[in-house]
Amino acid sequence: MQQTFYKYQGTGNDFVMIDNRHGAFDKQDKERVTFLCNRRFGIGADGLILIENHPELDFEMIYFNADASKSFCGNGARCAVAFAKQIGIIEKETTFLAIDGVHKAIIDQGIVKLLMGDVDLVERHANHTFLNTGSPHHVQIEENIALFDIKTLGAKIRYGAPYNEEGSNVNFVKKIDDSTFRVRTYERGVEDETLSCGTGVTAVAIAMHNTGLTPEHVINLNVEGGKLQVSFDVIDNKYSNIWLIGPATLVFKGNI
């Protein structure tokens, strides 16, 4: 079977994008998903995204991690918005469905602003913070972030207590100044460091504010693949109007 695909990236977080409005791609075929995401034998990506019809909204985004597990992906959602614009589903604004619920987004000159879900609970622990921004995230301050073996240390935390089988994404953070933080992320489902993680930087921005490491409500996040920004409102430690902002770029189109 020949499959037309598009390759997108958002600050180095890369995705295979498929227009599945006619339902030709079998969503139960996990082997196909992992093959297409394989960097040596397939196209290569951190995840695969299907764009499908929705009866009331502009579209539905079906997201698979590279291992064919499902989750929400912030950068993937931003790239899905850019792809939806490219194939003529939307123009500048959109409302669409993802696994964690309905999202709104705005796209202008290659920059996608994605409205994330509200965050009502931030768990503070002795050496880390835990919260869910559409996907679970462990956030940990580390000064020597440049020297860290992210894959080894991230995997140890991801599979360790209290996360066990379900696991968690793991974000290592260094403060640059009150409005800027450097972030490196180990992503479950990819089982390695990724160059960027949208739900991860969202979690970092909220965690840094919640623990008093910044008073700012607009946070710049330096990831390995570029720069992202997160803004939010907060009342009584409840975070709303959370926007993930950054570029989403078409890399190439092909057939496989």
**DSSP letter string, 92-140:** SEEEEEETTEEEEEEEETTEEEEEPPPB---EE-SS-EEEESSSEEEEE
From 188, 254, 161, 176, select the one nearest 216 (Cα to Cα): 176
Note whether 27 and 141 are same-domain residues: no
User: Does residue 165 carry a pLDDT above 90?
Assistant: no
| Residues labelled catalytic | 73, 197
Torsion, Cα 53 58 252 227, to 10 degrees, reads -140
Predicted local distance difference test score (pLDDT) of residue 127: 93
Note whether 188 and 212 are same-domain residues: yes
Q: Is residue 82 part of a domain?
A: yes
Predicted local distance difference test score (pLDDT) of residue 1: 79
Note whether 90 and 180 are same-domain residues: no
Predicted local distance difference test score (pLDDT) of residue 154: 95
Q: Please state, for a pLDDT cut of 70, what percent of the chain lies above it.
A: 100
What CA–CA distance (Å, rounded) separates 134 from 170? 14
User: Does residue 7 carry a pLDDT above 90?
Assistant: yes
Note whether 173 and 227 are same-domain residues: yes
Of the listed ranges 81-95, 142-156, 207-221, 233-247, the least confidently predicted one is 142-156
Note whether 60 and 138 are same-domain residues: no
What CA–CA distance (Å, rounded) separates 121 from 123? 6
User: Does residue 181 carry a pLDDT above 90?
Assistant: yes
Q: Is residue 42 part of a domain?
A: yes
Note whether 150 and 90 are same-domain residues: no
Q: Is residue 112 part of a domain?
A: no
Residue range of the domain that includes 86: 4-107+248-255
Note whether 177 and 96 are same-domain residues: no
Q: Please give the average per-residue pLDDT across 128-151, as a whole number.
A: 94
User: Does residue 98 carry a pLDDT above 90?
Assistant: yes
Note whether 138 and 238 are same-domain residues: yes
Name residue 215's amino acid.
P
pLDDT in tens, 232-241: 999 999 999 9
**Partners of 132 in the β-ladder:** 136
Note whether 127 and 103 are same-domain residues: no
How high does pLDDT run on average in the chain?
96
Q: Please give the average per-residue pLDDT across 170-178, as a whole number.
A: 97
Q: Is residue 115 part of a domain?
A: no
pLDDT in tens, 51-79: 999 999 999 999 999 999 999 999 999 99
Determine the length of the chain.
256
What CA–CA distance (Å, rounded) separates 72 from 62? 9
pLDDT in tens, 110-126: 999 999 999 999 999 99
Note whether 71 and 154 are same-domain residues: no
Q: Is residue 213 part of a domain?
A: yes
Q: How confident is the model at residue 161 (pLDDT cuts 50, 70, 90)?
A: confident
Q: Is residue 130 part of a domain?
A: yes
18-29 burial, b for 16+ CB within 10 Å, e for fewer?
Answer: bbbeeeebeeee
Q: Is residue 116 part of a domain?
A: no
Note whether 32 and 95 are same-domain residues: yes
Token look-up 């009150």 returns 178
From 214, 207, 213, 216, select the one nearest 237 (Cα to Cα): 207
User: Does residue 30 carry a pLDDT above 90?
Assistant: yes
- Total tally of structural domains belonging to the chain: 2
Q: What is the CATH number of the domain that holds 223?
A: 3.10.310.10
Note whether 99 and 128 are same-domain residues: no
Task: Tell me the helix, strand and coil percentages in the chain, rounded to 5.
Answer: 20, 45, 40
Q: Is residue 65 part of a domain?
A: yes
Helical (H) or strand (E) element with 30: helix 30-37
